[in-house]
């Protein structure tokens, strides 16, 4: 039976989908805060250096691996490494499974906040405006039934889009959603930066503070910037391998390797400009993580009076879109291997069925996270983590950096010509020497460093 493997409709569509995967909660709640807390402009410089020496190279590596084999994660690793490193594919394929388990829970919250803000704006009485942000958030995560329902709504949206296919679902949605996200972001940036007292937020982010580099301080800044970039560009979980496998042979991988992390960084900076000036203008504390997104910012919107419902609604719409375009890439990475398997066995394209089954399994994990209520109800995972952090540890802390470390070692040292040969299809690849050097010498060190940094921050070892 003839294979019916899917592909992207256009290179613009592919780029939007890849940038859509990269731009997510990491950009909105991680980057602005980490930048402010780690030396401002100095952190940005480190981050940009990492984008050039590691992000660029790793994105190209994953895309080329996917396109060279024309397969999704597990079969791609099996084919490219002659079966020797299939386990790396398995690691990469397990990571998105754990990620989706908690990502859909957080995405569900974004949807809930969007509905509540717009609802209050139109007088539907959702009670978000006028309630202290931390109280609203606590009420939500301790209401396990409601949290579970929003988690399920979010994952259902993800499954519906992904089940429509690479071109008809993921690409179509991203082509429209990413430009919309950009416009929404600009609206919020203008509002935030024109508030009285916004300057303090801008200087929190950008003020160069080189004192963080004194002594060994630069190591912890490097660890923070590296970990952030790794997650933000969606590395190490086969997403870019899977997306690369749907690319046209004439597409320029070297250009995509540059555009994806750069666009991701620009959006992260804009997200900072949307968030920090407003946080400071209203005299609130800049924090990181869920607290920033679901408590501090909601207080900012509440302080805007009637306009708060509008800007709050628009902002959480933006967050929902960013989370959705990321979560669909995660689901695609999970199901790609199974779809390929079905095609190889002559069963045709079983996308719909596989998407619902895999999505359903992730939904069970998401509901478990919701029922844990951020560590309030269920016994801790591995004796010390709330379920959300436990899944995150498995994926981001261990599987992703280990898989990437093995990948760069194999293709940098053993099968050295495999990826450059692929990249040269469709690209003049003027940076080949640079790519080979970075893949061989810098990327393994970078990945090992990320792994230690992740373990350090999860277990609070204080190594860096």
Site for ligand PHE, rule CB under 6 A: 21-22, 24-27, 99, 231-232, 234, 237, 239, 326, 329-330
- Looking at the Cβ atoms of 97 and 282, the one nearer to ligand PHE is 97
Q: At its nearest, how many Å lie between ligand PHE and the CB of residue 412?
A: 23
Q: At its nearest, how many Å lie between ligand PHE and the CB of residue 457?
A: 16
- Looking at the Cβ atoms of 26 and 169, the one nearer to ligand PHE is 26
- Looking at the Cβ atoms of 337 and 431, the one nearer to ligand PHE is 337
- Looking at the Cβ atoms of 242 and 326, the one nearer to ligand PHE is 326
Q: At its nearest, how many Å lie between ligand PHE and the CB of residue 239?
A: 6
- Looking at the Cβ atoms of 22 and 121, the one nearer to ligand PHE is 22
- Looking at the Cβ atoms of 333 and 443, the one nearer to ligand PHE is 333
- Looking at the Cβ atoms of 237 and 321, the one nearer to ligand PHE is 237
- Looking at the Cβ atoms of 22 and 128, the one nearer to ligand PHE is 22
Q: At its nearest, how many Å lie between ligand PHE and the CB of residue 417?
A: 29
From 90, 103, 168, select the one nearest 388 (Cα to Cα). Answer: 103
Q: At its nearest, how many Å lie between ligand PHE and the CB of residue 156?
A: 18
Q: At its nearest, how many Å lie between ligand PHE and the CB of residue 186?
A: 19
Q: At its nearest, how many Å lie between ligand PHE and the CB of residue 53?
A: 19
Q: At its nearest, how many Å lie between ligand PHE and the CB of residue 302?
A: 25
Q: At its nearest, how many Å lie between ligand PHE and the CB of residue 346?
A: 31
CB 18 within 8 A of CB 333: no
Counted residue by residue, the chain has a size of: 464
Q: At its nearest, how many Å lie between ligand PHE and the CB of residue 55?
A: 12
- Looking at the Cβ atoms of 280 and 387, the one nearer to ligand PHE is 387
State the SS3 of the chain: CCCCCCCCCCHHHHHHHHHHHHCCHHHHHHHHHHHHHCCCHHHHHHHHHHHHHHHHHHHHHHHHHHHHHCCCHHHHHHHHCCCCCHHHHHHHHHHHHHHHHHHHHHHHHHHHHHHHHHHHHCCCCCCCCCCCHHHHHHHHHHCHHHHHHHHHHHHHHHHHHHHCCHHHHHHHHHHHHHHHHHHHHHHHHHHHHCCCCCHHHHHHHHCCCHHHHCCCHHHHHHHHHHHHHHHHCCCCCCHHHHHHHCCCCCCCHHHHHHHHHHHHHHHHHHHHHHHHHHHHHCCCCCCCCHHHHHHHHHHHHHHCCHHHHHHHHHHHHHHHHHHHHHHHHHHHHHHHHHHHHHHHCCCCCCHHHHHHHHHHHHHHHHHHHHHHCCCCCCCCECCCECHHHHHHHHHHHHHHHHHHHHHHHHHHHHCCCHHHHHHCCCCCCCCHHHHHHHHHHHHHHHHHHHHHHHHHHHHCCCCC
Q: At its nearest, how many Å lie between ligand PHE and the CB of residue 58?
A: 13
Residue 23, number of CB atoms within 10 A of its CB: 29
- Looking at the Cβ atoms of 198 and 263, the one nearer to ligand PHE is 263
Rounded-to-integer distance, Cα 416 and Cα 435, Å: 11
From 267, 264, 278, select the one nearest 182 (Cα to Cα). Answer: 267
Q: At its nearest, how many Å lie between ligand PHE and the CB of residue 428?
A: 29
Rounded-to-integer distance, Cα 361 and Cα 377, Å: 21
- Looking at the Cβ atoms of 104 and 128, the one nearer to ligand PHE is 104
Burial letters 231-265, b for 16+ CB under 10 A, else e:
bbbbbbbbbbbbbbbbbeeebbbbebbbbbbbbbb
- Looking at the Cβ atoms of 116 and 329, the one nearer to ligand PHE is 329
């Amino acid at each position: 039976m003839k294979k019916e493997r899917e592909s992207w409709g256009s290179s613009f569509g592919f780029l939007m989908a890849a940038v859509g995967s990269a731009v997510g909660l990491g950009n909105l709640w991680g980057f602005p805060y980490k930048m402010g807390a780690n030396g401002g402009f100095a952190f940005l410089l480190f981050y940009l250096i990492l984008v050039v020496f590691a992000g660029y190279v790793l994105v190209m590596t994953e895309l080329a691996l996917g396109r060279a084999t024309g397969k999704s994660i597990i079969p791609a690793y099996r084919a490219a490494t002659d079966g020797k490193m299939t386990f790396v594919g398995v690691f990469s394929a397990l990571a998105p499974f754990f990620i989706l388990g908690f990502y859909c829970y957080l995405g569900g919250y974004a949807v809930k906040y969007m509905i509540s803000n717009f609802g209050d704006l139109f007088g539907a009485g959702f009670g978000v405006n006028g309630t202290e942000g931390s109280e609203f958030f606590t009420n939500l995560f301790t209401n396990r039934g409601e949290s579970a329902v929003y988690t399920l709504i979010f994952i259902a949206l993800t499954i519906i889009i992904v089940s429509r296919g690479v071109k008809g679902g993921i690409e179509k949605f991203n082509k429209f959603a990413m430009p919309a996200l950009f416009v929404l972001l600009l609206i919020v940036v203008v509002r935030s930066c024109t508030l009285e007292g916004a300057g303090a937020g801008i200087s929190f982010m950008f003020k160069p503070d080189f004192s963080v580099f004194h002594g060994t301080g630069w190591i912890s800044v490097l660890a923070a910037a590296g970990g952030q970039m790794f997650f933000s560009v969606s590395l190490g979980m086969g997403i870019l391998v899977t997306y690369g496998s749907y690319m046209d042979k004439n597409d320029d991988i070297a250009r995509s390797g540059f555009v994806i992390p750069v666009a991701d960084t620009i959006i992260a900076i804009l997200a900072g400009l949307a968030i920090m000036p407003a946080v400071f203008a209203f005299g609130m504390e800049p924090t990181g993580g869920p607290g920033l997104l679901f408590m501090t910012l909601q207080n900012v919107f509440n302080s805007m009076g009637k306009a708060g419902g509008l800007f709050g609604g628009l902002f959480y719409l933006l967050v929902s879109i960013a989370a959705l375009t990321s979560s669909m890439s995660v689901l695609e990475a999970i199901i790609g291997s199974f779809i390929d398997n079905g095609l190889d066995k002559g069963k045709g394209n079983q996308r719909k069925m596989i998407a619902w089954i895999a999505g359903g399994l992730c939904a069970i994990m998401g509901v478990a996270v919701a029922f844990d209520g951020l560590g309030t109800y269920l016994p801790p995972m591995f004796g010390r983590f709330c379920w959300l952090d436990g899944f995150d540890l498995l994926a981001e802390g261990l599987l992703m950096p280990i898989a990437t470390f093995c990948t760069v070692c194999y293709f940098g040292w053993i099968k050295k010509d495999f990826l450059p040969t692929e990249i040269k299809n469709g690209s003049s690849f003027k940076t080949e020497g640079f790519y080979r050097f970075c893949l061989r010498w810098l990327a393994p060190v970078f990945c090992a460093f990320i792994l230690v940094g992740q373990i350090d921050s999860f277990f609070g070892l204080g190594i860096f």
